[in-house]
Amino acid sequence: MALRVWLWLLSLSVLWGGSFFFAKVAVGELGPFTVVFARVSLAALVLALVVPLRRDAPWPTYFAMGFLNNALPFSLIFWGQTEIGSGLASILNATTPLFTLVVAHFLTPDEKIDRTKIVALLMGLSGVVVLIGPPTLVGGSTLWGQTACLAAELSYALAGIYGRRFQRMGIAPTEAAAGQLTASTVLILPIMLVIDRPWTLPPPSLTVWLALGALALLSTALAYVLYFRILAAAGATNLLLVTFLIPVPAILLGAMVLGERLEPRHYAGMALIGLGLAVIDGRIAGLLRAAK
């Protein structure tokens, strides 16, 4: 991948890394479907002001992408985070590239599984597990919460493959993001009204409002502009490497903002993640070939 794509990938990891924290704060006072609705509707509104949708917009494609990439996985993850911790949710999120390898192998002509990709992805996944550490894995999680998050990662993998068509259709990244988020808003609204019934809950605190704003504007509107740029430039498999990077900014932000202490396993985990990314990028293989 080109340097600019790596910079986009790192930026996306920071934006999405914060989403687990913001979501955990929000679901403490609101229902998970309400948090999903707030996230996608506010983000859709912001993007619609910047990029008005065309009259001939491909709404069936937007609704399919909105379901696979927003409405379904957001709902599963946010509900899962009412049962499990955000750390374990981020570990499960890192399985997305593994799902994508299998999905892309069967559904695309140009992203087949090879030994290098398998080794790199397993190395990166090992790094995430080491980074988070055993205490998180035994933190009172439930089977259904973990299953919901794993189902969300499969949905993300399918969305990564399906979203490739936007480039072929000549749809700009910002327009694709606005379209899918608008469709997601329509999809999640009736579910929120029937299940969560948010008008029956006390008004959310200022902290929750700030978390929702950050979740919608930073972790969704801005993040999806980057998402579609990376997808067009580097493909679905490379794009979903971001899931390996997401826990890294989360831990660093915790250390800088909350005074949390980094332990040796954090450095070891980040090193494994870096090695995995270098292997799948081909730089290590290139250096070894040049050294012969």
CA distance 112 to 109: 7
Most confident of the following: 6-10, 60-64, 97-101, 156-160: 60-64
| The predicted structure's pLDDT at residue 270 | 72
Q: What number is the average pLDDT over the span 252-266?
A: 66
Render pLDDT for 141-167 as a digit per residue (tens, 0 to 9).
566 777 888 899 899 989 988 888 887
Provide the pLDDT confidence category of residue 259 given band limits of 50, 70 and 90. low
Least confident of 89-103, 123-137, 172-186, 204-218: 123-137
| The predicted structure's pLDDT at residue 255 | 67
Residue 218 in this model has a pLDDT that exceeds 60: yes
CA distance 198 to 237: 37
| The predicted structure's pLDDT at residue 132 | 66
Q: What number is the average pLDDT over the span 110-114?
A: 76
Enumerate the domain spans of the chain: 3-291
Q: Identify which has the larger pLDDT, 242 or 187.
A: 187
pTM of this prediction?
0.79
Q: Identify which has the larger pLDDT, 119 or 206.
A: 206
| The predicted structure's pLDDT at residue 64 | 95
Residue 254 in this model has a pLDDT that exceeds 80: no
Q: Identify which has the larger pLDDT, 35 or 121.
A: 35
Q: Identify which has the larger pLDDT, 103 or 127.
A: 103
Q: CA dist 270 to 9, 128, 129, 234, 263, Å?
A: 16, 8, 10, 22, 11
Q: Identify which has the larger pLDDT, 117 or 5.
A: 5
Provide the pLDDT confidence category of residue 246 given band limits of 50, 70 and 90. confident
| The predicted structure's pLDDT at residue 220 | 86
Residue 261 in this model has a pLDDT that exceeds 70: no
| The predicted structure's pLDDT at residue 146 | 76
Of 70, 90, 77, nearest to 220 by C-alpha is 70
| The predicted structure's pLDDT at residue 30 | 93
Q: Identify which has the larger pLDDT, 184 or 258.
A: 184
